């Protein structure tokens, strides 16, 4: 289980992210939490029962975006699946917001005083469209949350050590969010999202960035880049505690 130091400072939020360990699916799926990768449904149900149970959560009471690499963020007040969005926002307590990942970046945004929560799936497409900026802006518009009192956790994802991308990314991301090595281009997805959060007015000291890379830690994480379409999927979950 991946935890966050910065989120752990607050009593009114619960957070956890799965790894590839602790599940019942045959390897290499292990702790796979997605029903959409060809895994046995009963195995996934048991994996979800274990992962969410460890956090004291009911696996049948979750708000889950049906992610599509967009910049659409949805306000939610109840459990269910939400079409065509990659981020959820709520001020409802005891409603877990879930993001599904295998290399893409999960970003938790929390305003502890007003208790407003956002949870975002940020791959390169969503990051290029500035989904975290849209989320911070929506939280401010809907709930009056000030960015300088928000905290953020950026979880394990594809790291700049491994995340090779095509040359066309030079037109999509600023040069200081890309690295050239051996005639190859690598995207620093975490820096891209940190830069966007700073541009929104978050304080650097309120942003925690996991240094873990999902691609080069095969013993810890599933990776779409490493394992392909049928790679297992991890989940990141965050919930306001009422
Ligand atoms: Zn790596």
- Which sequence spans correspond to the domains of the chain? 5-157+207-240
pLDDT for 170 equals 85
CA of 157 to the centre of ligand 1 (A): 9
Percentage of the chain lying above the pLDDT 70 cut: 100
As a whole number, mean pLDDT of residues 80-89 equals 97
Average pLDDT, the chain: 97
Question: Any idea how long the chain is?
Answer: 242
**167, pLDDT greater than 90:** no
Ligand 1 centroid, distance to 187 Cα (angstroms)? 11
Name the DSSP class of 79: S
Query: How many angstroms is it from 142 CA to the middle of ligand 1?
Result: 37
The CATH number assigned to the domain with range 5-157+207-240 reads 3.60.140.10
The mean pLDDT of 13-30, rounded to a whole number, is: 97
Q: How confident is the model at residue 52 (pLDDT cuts 50, 70, 90)?
A: very high
For the residues 14-40, what does the mean pLDDT come to?
A: 96
* pLDDT confidence bin for 6, thresholds 50/70/90: very high
Q: Is 10 helix (H, G, I), strand (E, B) or coil?
A: coil
Given pLDDT bands bounded at 50, 70 and 90, which one contains residue 158? very high
- Contact (CB, 8 A) for 77 and 85: no
H or E stretch covering 208 = strand 207-209
Distance 82 CA to ligand 1 centre (A): 31
Instruction: Measure 209 CA to ligand 1 centroid, in angstroms.
Output: 15
Model-level pTM? 0.97
Cα–Cα distance for residue pair 75/98, rounded to 1 Å? 13
pLDDT score for 197: 98
Who contacts 42 (Cβ-Cβ below 8 Å, separation ≥6)? none
């Amino acid at each position: 289980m991946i935890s966050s130091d910065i989120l752990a400072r607050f009593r009114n939020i619960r957070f956890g992210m799965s790894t590839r360990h602790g599940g019942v699916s045959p390897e290499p799926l292990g702790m796979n939490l997605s029903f959409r990768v060809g895994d046995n449904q009963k195995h996934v149900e048991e994996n979800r029962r274990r992962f969410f149970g460890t956090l004291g959560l009911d696996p049948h009471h979750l708000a889950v975006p049906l992610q599509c690499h967009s910049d659409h963020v949805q306000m939610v007040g109840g459990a269910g699946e939400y079409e065509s969005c990659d981020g959820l926002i709520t001020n409802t307590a005891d409603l877990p917001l879930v993001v599904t990942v295998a290399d893409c970046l999960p970003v938790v945004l929390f305003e502890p005083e007003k208790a407003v929560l956002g949870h975002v799936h940020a791959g390169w497409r969503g990051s290029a469209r500035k989904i975290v900026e849209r989320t911070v802006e929506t939280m401010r518009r809907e709930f009056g949350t000030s960015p300088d009192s928000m905290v953020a956790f950026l979880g394990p994802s594809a790291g700049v050590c491994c995340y090779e991308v095509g040359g066309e990314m030079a037109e999509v991301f600023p040069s200081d969010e890309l690295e050239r090595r051996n005639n190859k281009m690598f995207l620093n997805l975490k820096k891209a999202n940190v830069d966007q959060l700073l541009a929104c007015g978050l304080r650097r000291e309120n942003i925690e960035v996991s240094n873990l890379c999902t691609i080069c830690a095969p013993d810890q994480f599933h990776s779409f880049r490493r394992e392909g379409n049928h790679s297992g999927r991890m989940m990141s979950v965050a919930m306001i505690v009422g």
